[in-house]
Amino acid sequence: MNLRGEFEAAWKAGDEFESLLALVHRYQKQGLAATEAYGILEQLWLDNGFDDCEHTTPLQDKLEYVLEKIWYEQPATK
């Protein structure tokens, strides 16, 4: 299974913030770049219409949390 499929299944099944982040970290340890992981999850964000949503949902909050963590964990580039 790929990151998107596994993440989406766990996310929609109600997994908590930290287990979702751990799932992404597992893929990163297998060689997935942080920018690629972020892009995959950002596409999930867009596909669920969260960019046009006025009210947040628990699903949106969990995805936002993981996206922010992945973004801020990236090493700074010059």
Q: What is the pLDDT of residues 37-47, one digit of tens each?
A: 999 999 999 99
How many other C-beta atoms can be found within 10 angstroms of the C-beta atom of residue 28? 16
How many angstroms separate the CA atoms of 26 and 23, rounded?
Answer: 5
Give mean pLDDT, residues 15-33. Answer: 96
**8 A C-beta contact, residue 71 and residue 38:** yes
Name the percent of the chain lying above pLDDT 70.
Answer: 95
- Supply the mean pLDDT for the chain: 92
Cβ-based neighbours of 74, under 8 Å, separated by 6 or more: 34, 35, 38
pLDDT computed for residue 69 by the predictor = 96
How many angstroms separate the CA atoms of 75 and 73, rounded?
Answer: 6
The pTM of this model reads 0.88
